[in-house]
Structure 1
Amino acid sequence: MATALKSLSEYSKKKNIDISNKKFAIVVSEYNPKITDSLHGAVVETLLKEGASERNIYREDVPGAFELTFGAQLMAQIEEVDAVICLGCVIQGETKHFDFICDAVAHGVTNVSLKYNKPVVFGLLTPNTEQQAFDRAGGKHGNKGVEAAVAAIKMLGFNQ
């Protein structure tokens, strides 16, 4: 796995922009809350560290990963929102449910981003086990939330 080769919490500040006036909507799946809350905490911490204002960071919860795309669409259609970050975790099970959900969310997030011409970040963990999820939500591989926040910042810079 690529994650085994790098910490998700390490990033380059090259091309980061001033985000003090940017508004971020974070859509968080309520499913696997220990994992998604950790991802959310890392997103907020990173955004604040990089200069975002706490008053410009919004959190909206949705029931599960599948609902992330509709939540993202509702947030993206708000003109004042500059970027949307979707956070969730779907752990591989014994059925094809995992494949259908992950595929739908990936396509949905992409479509919302293109429809509203703004960054909509895919922060969905898709591990094989719960332990792998914890390893990527603040464990031995860092926190994917940091990576999601940095992606939003960099794409805002790219979109200027």
Structure 2
Amino acid sequence: MSSQHKNLSDFSTESLPAIQDKQFAVVVSEWNTEVTEALFQGCVATLLAHGAQAENIHRVQVPGSFELSLGAQKLAQIPEIDAVICLGCVIQGETRHFDFICDAVAKGITDVSLKYDKPVIFGVLTPNSQEQAMDRAGGKHGNKGDEAAITAIKMLAI
């Protein structure tokens, strides 16, 4: 179902594992700050609401979404980190730059997750416009940051 008709913050919270002792790293892109800050706020609020301790949520900034993969890798290699959440936003432009960045970020995040055998979550928006981005960063379609946090929690149960 497309997000046009779905609130991203509507998800099942049944059978979530206890996370009070889990360490979360959140890698946030500085590019499109208005969007990524909203994603981060939603992510942290959801983690806290489900039992994470504030001191166990570690934030790292990277310049853009392309750099999320390396930021995630540096954090995933820390044994105490249980899950890494990557938050970014790449807005479609007039060139193919969008395609190259989105493909590289998706593959990079997947590779880090598999390499370190821990959840590394893709919380990257790929909208066509700033308006669509804001709709998915706390607007009418909820907050993808919430979804990324719940995904991390659920993956810790596996």
Looking at structure 2, the residues matched to 126 and 15 of structure 1 have their Cα atoms a distance apart, in angstroms, of: 30
**Which runs of structure 1 show a deviation greater than 4 angstroms over 4 or more consecutive aligned residues?**
none
Which deviations, in whole Å up to 9, do the C-alpha atoms of 1:20-75 show, x marking residues without a partner? 00000000000000000000000000000000000000000000000000000000
Partner residue in 2 for 1:25? 25
Structure 2: which 5+ residue stretches go unaligned?
A: none
Partner residue in 2 for 1:68? 68
2:104 equivalent to 1:85? no
- Which AA in structure 2 matches 1:38? A
SS of the aligned residue for 1:58 comes to: strand
- Which AA in structure 2 matches 1:68? L
Q: Shift of the alpha carbon at 1:94? A: 0.4
Looking at structure 2, the residues matched to 50 and 11 of structure 1 have their Cα atoms a distance apart, in angstroms, of: 13
Looking at structure 1, the residues matched to 155 and 85 of structure 2 have their Cα atoms a distance apart, in angstroms, of: 11
TM-score, scaled relative to structure 1: 0.97
SS of the aligned residue for 2:157 comes to: helix
Residue-pair matches, total = 158
Partner residue in 2 for 1:102? 102
Looking at structure 1, the residues matched to 93 and 156 of structure 2 have their Cα atoms a distance apart, in angstroms, of: 35
Looking at structure 2, the residues matched to 53 and 10 of structure 1 have their Cα atoms a distance apart, in angstroms, of: 23
Partner residue in 2 for 1:7? 7
Which deviations, in whole Å up to 9, do the C-alpha atoms of 1:104-147 show, x marking residues without a partner? 00000000000000000000000000100000001110000000
SS of the aligned residue for 1:131 comes to: helix
Partner residue in 2 for 1:143? 143
Q: Shift of the alpha carbon at 1:15? A: 2.4
Looking at structure 2, the residues matched to 7 and 82 of structure 1 have their Cα atoms a distance apart, in angstroms, of: 27
Looking at structure 2, the residues matched to 92 and 11 of structure 1 have their Cα atoms a distance apart, in angstroms, of: 27
What RMSD over aligned residues (CA atoms) do the two structures have, in Å? Answer: 0.7
Structure 1: which 5+ residue stretches go unaligned?
A: none
TM-score, scaled relative to structure 2: 0.98
Partner residue in 1 for 2:121? 121
Looking at structure 1, the residues matched to 54 and 138 of structure 2 have their Cα atoms a distance apart, in angstroms, of: 21
